[in-house]
Chains A and B, each alone.
Chain A
Amino acid sequence: MNEVLNTLAAIQQLEGAKLRYALMDLAKEVPDAIALGRGDPDLDTPAFIVQAAREALTGPLPVAPVAGLPELREAVAANALRDHGLEQGSENALITTGGQEGLFLVMSTLLEPGDEILVPDPRYTSYDQAIQHTGATSVSVPTYAEDGFDLRPEEVEKRLTPNTKALLLVTPSNPTGGVITQATAERLAELASKHNFVIISDEIYGKFVWEPHTHVSVASLPGMRERTVTLSGFSKAYAMTGWRVGYILAPENAVRAMAAIKTHTTGPVATLSQRAALAAAHGDDACVREFRHIYAERRALVAQGLSHMGLGYSDPRGGFFFWADASSTGLRALELSYLLLKEARVLVFPGTAFGESWSDYLRITTLQPTEVLQEAVSRMTPVVERYAREAAARH
């Protein structure tokens, strides 16, 4: 028990991404642990993309321009029109070293000390360091389970000040699985125009919105192309996390500014990765449709498992995560995550890794094969049920 308390005391000092990585390091020491933590699709990169990389290896691979291969920038812009009705040219596209670098570039380009950026709560805490690095201040905007974690425009409006430079949208949301509805997007667009702020729209999970919900790309709304920076990438859509290819769509001057900064962050993205991404971008997305079927089956399995355990959740409207209410166990989320790792050998992330006040919640991914998810559920169920019984007995 002392070991448990000591380890917990150590990781309780951590927050956000550091907490997530500390838990991942702990999981490496647990034999046969099942990882339902990191957002890394377990599926293989589709064969036609791998084949494009193999073919690229037979020829020269010159260094690409910092902003990306021109043909990839063109393809990304064309797909924005095809997929979201968003009219952009190649000059509006910047290829980044994964979506992660994109968010750093956006924040570094837009924010200065004294600026405020509105960020929905809970949040993908990897944004925190990028925002803090600029000297700007992050202002939390609450979201609610009863809304499916859609953003309430009135909560945004209440927090606007003369220093508000930007609003961050993550749709579908990591960690909640909420998506921005058309009505919300239109209202937020009105606010952005009226109060002159920028919308940064992280749409990295945009190809995975579950029916009857639909993906809305804010930049496609009238008048919004000029005041929206859209972040996305190939990692999640095409199971290409290790290739490190993301992209930004933005007004041309912003792209030029971000490219200038990118010259000094990482330089150009690896050419081989860009050639593989080009194959993905030129494809018809049949592989994405296949992925969606696979994820739908997994989602149903995890939902059934959580219900069986007695954990509450909102059906995710998009993305790969369940945001589950574990208050029935009577344990703080971090403690429960740790105990699930030790006793069930399953890694899930505590809600506090995505916002300080979410100590009743767990983020659980669906990014494992069906049989592994079944095993994870069967391991977690008796542990969760036992703690829930003990909590009920105490009351």
Chain B
Amino acid sequence: MDLAVPLAKRARTLVTRGYPDTPNTSDRAPEVAVMATLKALARGETHYTDRPGILPLREQVTRLLNKRFGVTVDPKANTVITCGVTEARFVAVQELLAPGETLYAGAELEQLFGALTVRGSEFAETPEEARVLYLSSRMDEGDQRRLLGHISDTATVVFELNQTTNTFHPAQLEAFQNRTVTIGDLATESGLESWRVGFLAAPPASAAGLRDFKQALTICTTNLSQWAALAVLEER
């Protein structure tokens, strides 16, 4: 089939890197999630939710961050439920970077490439020149502290919460309290990989912009998925 549609450069770039699919790994959802979904269906939870997500789930997220890291985030104003960590990562990159600005990644390089390409941004070669520093909880604490010591005073930190038990979080450091955006996955660890639920928790200065971008991208996260994730988190 001939293509009359002219593709933008970013699309051509991503296509030449292949057509990646998410691995098919998930099985049946946990019983508690299934029951919560059935109840949500009975209540008619089939419409849009509030664009940042259902409040009880946002509250669970902030409780989780507080319990594990001692970090405080306002669930009403500064927390957003996303379609998996993929959307959280994408929204953070699009909103926190302008075209041409750079991101230094301590982890998750492969996952970040597409989001940077769509934004017209690139990886930084050194943390000093980066507008955004990207860290992950799976990184060694010492490595994270070392990178934090190299970034500029105006750089933002994106901290991706992975399936680890580490307890270091950049926002524990006073200098990074108001410039660290936390993102994470609420689904994979819960056996809900195919339900696509993640989150963004941000300082006040960047929260509204992140929420607006998420709304412009997908309006809200799948209603039933949010109730399922909430049930799993509440059971823990």
Contact = CB atoms under 8 A, between A and B. Distances in A.
A253 B7 contact: yes
B205 interface: no
B11 A267 contact: no
- Of the candidates A38, A40, A97, A239, the one having the most CB atoms from chain B within 10 angstroms of its own CB is A97
A165 B6 contact: yes
A44 B83 contact: no
A54 B212 contact: no
Contacts of B10: 108, 112, 261
Given A64-B22, A66-B22, A264-B118, 9 more contacts: A17-B215, A42-B47, A57-B38, A62-B25, A63-B193, A109-B7, A110-B8, A265-B90, A266-B83
B218 A98 contact: yes
Contacts of B49: 242
Interface in B178-206: 193-196
Contact of A50 (B27, B41, B84): B41
Given A242-B222, A270-B196, A272-B37, A112 B8 contact: yes
- Of the candidates B11, B27, B222, the one having the most CB atoms from chain A within 10 angstroms of its own CB is B11
Contact of A239 (B41, B46, B194, B216): B46
12 contacts: A44-B44, A57-B29, A61-B28, A66-B19, A104-B216, A108-B8, A112-B8, A242-B46, A243-B224, A253-B15, A254-B3, A263-B22
A101 interface: yes
Nearest to A107: B8
A109 B8 contact: yes
B218 A135 contact: no
Given A57-B34, A59-B28, A198-B4, A267 B86 contact: yes
Contacts of A50: 41, 46
B99 A21 contact: no
Interface stretch (A244-252, A295-303, A321-329): A244-252
Nearest to B85: A267
A345 to B, nearest CB: 20
Contact of B5 (A229, A240, A264, A272): A229
Nearest to B119: A133
Given A244-B220, A250-B5, A270 B11 contact: no
B26 A264 contact: no
A100 B17 contact: no
Contacts of B86: 263-267
Contacts of B18: 260
A257 interface: yes
A240 B38 CA distance: 16
A301 B218 CA distance: 32
B144 interface: no
A243 B46 contact: yes
A110 B224 CA distance: 32
A130 interface: yes
Given A97-B218, A257-B7, A272-B37, A62 B19 contact: no
A53 interface: yes
The 4 nearest A-B residue pairs measured at CB: A264-B114, A242-B223, A257-B11, A260-B14
Contact of A64 (B1, B5, B194, B225): B194
Interface string A33-69: 0000010111011000010011001011111111100
A111 interface: yes
B235 interface: no
A227 B5 CA distance: 6
B174 interface: no
A251 B27 contact: no
Contacts, number: 232
A273 interface: yes
Contact of B14 (A54, A97, A261): A261
Contacts of A100: 216-219
B24 interface: yes
Interface in B68-113: 83-84, 86-87, 90, 94, 99, 111, 113
A134 B8 contact: yes
Nearest to A250: B5
B17 A267 contact: no
Contact of B3 (A62, A104, A253, A264): A253
B234 interface: no
B142 interface: no
Given A251-B5, A254-B3, A265-B87, A63 B217 contact: no
Nearest to A246: B218
Given A63-B26, A253-B1, A243 B194 contact: no
Contacts of A253: 1, 3, 5, 7, 15
Contacts of B216: 17, 100, 104, 126, 129-130
Contacts of B14: 257, 260-261, 263-264
Contact of B217 (A41, A64, A104, A110): A104
Given A63-B26, A242-B223, A273-B224, A40 B47 contact: yes
A270 B218 contact: no
Contacts of B212: 17-18, 129
A31 B151 CA distance: 48
Nearest to B40: A242
Nearest to B25: A63
